[in-house]
């Protein structure tokens, strides 16, 4: 069985993050072919190109983790109609030093949840623009804007609503198929 290693980034650093609950649900619902692992950006300092000549250890570890995966899944909240600053900082680290962009040709997908009805749609569009510049082939469809209602997903990632669970299961199956399609055209170098 061909497997794909998927690293996922949770855009929120909050203890009670609803996006972390969503990420846990996606791990549970992903097809067996996907090996899911979180890539944390919590310990990264604020990026400056002064670091480019000598990345600090947390940034080196972050880049190494991205190099070891086949695809990246962003599970992010919307903060002020964009992505949280911590996530943007992590992407900036990943994109540098110049010529060593970790996202180039790395397939990606974006998903997120918020209590609001548009379910992170604006943040996702913002993130898609950033990922386009970073030359990441993105899964265009299905899109997934998840409105979080209390109890929708338990702390350990069980989805309590059956139709939402099926939607998320299909989303992950589609991501698996998308990753396969990308690497059919561009063989893996990892």
Residues that bind ligand FNR (CB under 6 A): 12, 14, 17-19, 77-81, 114-116
**Nearest distance from C-beta of residue 69 to ligand FNR, angstroms:** 22
Note whether 20 and 12 are within 8 A (CB): yes
151 burial level (CB within 10 Å; 0-12, 13-18, 19+): exposed
* Number of neighbours of residue 185 by Cβ within 10 angstroms: 8
- Would strands 71-75 and 34-38 be described as parallel, antiparallel, or unpaired? unpaired
**Nearest distance from C-beta of residue 25 to ligand FNR, angstroms:** 13
**Nearest distance from C-beta of residue 24 to ligand FNR, angstroms:** 12
**Nearest distance from C-beta of residue 95 to ligand FNR, angstroms:** 23
Note whether 161 and 15 are within 8 A (CB): no
Cβ nearer to ligand FNR, comparing 63 with 128: 128
CA-only gyration radius of the chain, Å: 16
**Nearest distance from C-beta of residue 166 to ligand FNR, angstroms:** 22
Cβ nearer to ligand FNR, comparing 42 with 81: 81
Cβ nearer to ligand FNR, comparing 34 with 83: 83
Cβ nearer to ligand FNR, comparing 12 with 101: 12
CA dist 76 and 22 (Å) reads 9
**Nearest distance from C-beta of residue 145 to ligand FNR, angstroms:** 10
Q: What CA dihedral angle connects 179, 89, 13 and 79, to 10 degrees?
A: -90
Cβ nearer to ligand FNR, comparing 17 with 89: 17
Note whether 4 and 71 are within 8 A (CB): yes
Distances in Å between the Cα of 167 and the Cα atoms of 17, 29, 66, 160, 162 are 21, 10, 27, 12, 9
Cβ nearer to ligand FNR, comparing 20 with 106: 20
């Amino acid at each position: 069985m061909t497997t794909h290693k998927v690293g996922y980034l949770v855009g929120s650093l909050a203890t009670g993050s609803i996006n972390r609950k969503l990420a846990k649900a996606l791990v549970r619902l992903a097809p067996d072919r996907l090996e899911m692992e979180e890539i944390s950006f919590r310990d990264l300092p604020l990026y400056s190109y002064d670091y480019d000549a000598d990345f600090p250890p947390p940034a080196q570890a972050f880049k190494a983790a991205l190099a070891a995966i086949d695809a990246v899944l962003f599970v992010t909240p919307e903060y002020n109609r964009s992505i949280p600053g911590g996530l943007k900082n992590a992407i900036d680290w990943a994109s540098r030093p110049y010529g060593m962009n970790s996202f180039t040709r790395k397939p990606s997908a974006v998903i997120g949840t918020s209590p609001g009805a548009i379910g992170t749609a604006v943040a996702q569009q913002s993130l898609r623009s950033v990922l386009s510049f970073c030359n990441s082939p993105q899964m265009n469809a299905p899109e997934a804007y998840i409105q979080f209602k209390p109890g929708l997903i338990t702390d350990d990632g069980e989805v309590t609503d059956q139709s939402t669970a099926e939607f998320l299961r299909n989303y992950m199956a589609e991501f698996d198929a998308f990753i396969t399609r990308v690497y059919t055209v561009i063989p893996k170098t990892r």
